[in-house]
Structure 1
């Protein structure tokens, strides 16, 4: 177990005591490592600390199995009906909701805290990582799905951004380089950039203050040449805590070899070797996760050639000789 993970577990177990998030001196209750992963600063007051920590824990809890999510939401008094004065009261509430005895509920809470710490550990800074304060905003979470099983490939992108300054009203969004059309589902107003860089500016519905987060989602339709390019990458302009990348292949043309790679210089994409082998599931999908993404570096998935699947007429071999192009996301 890493030192960061051990410290986070210790910090979370300390925080669950008493009133949990609603302890009066929360500035003394939130440990150093938990402060770091929740972006708590020395200038934050009790209310801001409570909001930041509560928002992060609630967001990370969504990644847990339902029973563990329920347990930790009660343990830290995040759930509105769990804002009880004593920890034992919240354990009993969790036991009732889980239809288990209090001792089992305590085990669920302990399990939930360990899982929560594992999720939170991805947000701890690593040596050489670009600090969030180096830009006006950063990506807290970026989810990208590439669908290749249609006439024109499409990318669905969902992200949560966090302001690193006050009064952030506009952010730059770079879309995949092969995009021929972009639609914003929600999150503001998308306006083409006036400079020479490819992409858009997103005007936020209202300015964000330092530490506030904002969700947005967009879809990009790509040119048909994406079908013949055996890779898909993201080159970031802003720091990103986590990237979840999924590629859905045509079930008749599942590549024989698929690898994920990270932290590669864009100019080296054509000659980069190594990577981690992954396998498509029964739905012809692969998934890769990356943490602490550095601006200017490439992260993505590469595949070799397609093998014929059920119903394939043998014409499904992907061309794999072209020189890579960069698909960027800010």
Structure 2
């Protein structure tokens, strides 16, 4: 990891072209970079993974590494030595000191990345498809909350004609009233045709999406959806029926940020609404937004966030 990070900092760093030649297997694994990812996607994944690690360091190391990898817009210069000199001026140090800071910082973020290494994906015999990537943006500052969902699925068998995308709208805690399919608005942006929603239980709504043509084994297929519904409970979780490699969730509260927001991971669906089972506390940024990410989601368990009403 250290060697690959030192190679990445050369030239234009994450803005190098072609970028794929600069990214080794350790970085690919750590950042979730896939073989068919394009340059823009690889750059985004590198930035999303490296920036939180760099920003966790002391200020001097943080500034040095933001410059080294061209993560700071002010330091996006074509040559590594130019970025080193920018950091030296910013820190009021000489270039040699900044180079030592960069080496020290690389050692630290490499250790952090390895310590948080993604475990090997779980295997589920007999599965027909799985979600490789699920990205959701939930806007709670709208008259009716809206969620934009972009999903990439992979066929693990031939002739996959229907994707089961069922979701749950939890019943209200006090009344326990059942929900109805009419409470959920769904629009398909791309990726297929959606059958009419049907109720599978008192709170589970079945959504069957039919791709333009049946998927063959190994084929990747992308879907874009928009959901609109009034949330009865202050939480948003993914409870996958099929394995999911990555779930990336952005939640925008806007001006009305709750006092308490917590991360939920691998809970039973019933436990997602139980405040006695607390997760890590989360803080919204200055825009009133929270961002969480989960990897290797197990079917039947809940992953997401919960907040005070």
What TM bracket, shorter-length normalisation? 0.5 to 0.7
2:138 match: 146
Any conservation in 2 of the 1:122–1:241 contact (CA below 8 Å)?
A: no
Shift of 1:230: 2.2
Q: Distance in 2 between matches of 1:257 and 1:132?
A: 36
> RMSD of the TM alignment (CA)?
4.4
Shift of 1:302: 1.3
Summarize the Cα distance change of 1:157–1:60 in structure 2 as closer, same or farther, 3 Å threshold: same
Summarize the Cα distance change of 1:57–1:258 in structure 2 as closer, same or farther, 3 Å threshold: same
2:283 match: 279
What's the secondary structure of 1:169's corresponding residue? Answer: coil
Where do residues 60-99 of structure 1 align in structure 2 (5 Å cutoff)?
60-65=42-47, 99=78
From 254, 259, 262, the equivalent of 1:259 is: 262
Where do residues 113-124 of structure 1 align in structure 2 (5 Å cutoff)?
124=119
Q: Distance in 2 between matches of 1:192 and 1:211?
A: 28
1:220 match: 227
What's the secondary structure of 2:205's corresponding residue? Answer: coil
Summarize the Cα distance change of 1:176–1:61 in structure 2 as closer, same or farther, 3 Å threshold: farther
Any conservation in 2 of the 1:241–1:292 contact (CA below 8 Å)?
A: yes
From 72, 79, 103, the equivalent of 1:100 is: 79
1:296 match: 300
From 237, 240, 250, the equivalent of 1:236 is: 240
Deviations 1:71-92 (A, max 9, x none): xxxxxxxxxxxxxxxxxxxxxx
From 153, 169, 191, the equivalent of 1:177 is: 169
1:199 aligns with 2:199: no
1:25 match: none
TM-score, normalised with respect to structure 2: 0.60
What's the secondary structure of 1:64's corresponding residue? Answer: helix
Any conservation in 2 of the 1:123–1:241 contact (CA below 8 Å)?
A: no
Shift of 1:245: 1.2
Summarize the Cα distance change of 1:132–1:58 in structure 2 as closer, same or farther, 3 Å threshold: farther
1:157 aligns with 2:149: yes
What's the secondary structure of 2:295's corresponding residue? Answer: strand
Which moved further from structure 2: 276-285 or 176-185? Answer: 176-185
Summarize the Cα distance change of 1:205–1:123 in structure 2 as closer, same or farther, 3 Å threshold: farther
Any conservation in 2 of the 1:142–1:157 contact (CA below 8 Å)?
A: yes
What's the secondary structure of 1:274's corresponding residue? Answer: coil
Any conservation in 1 of the 2:271–2:277 contact (CA below 8 Å)?
A: no
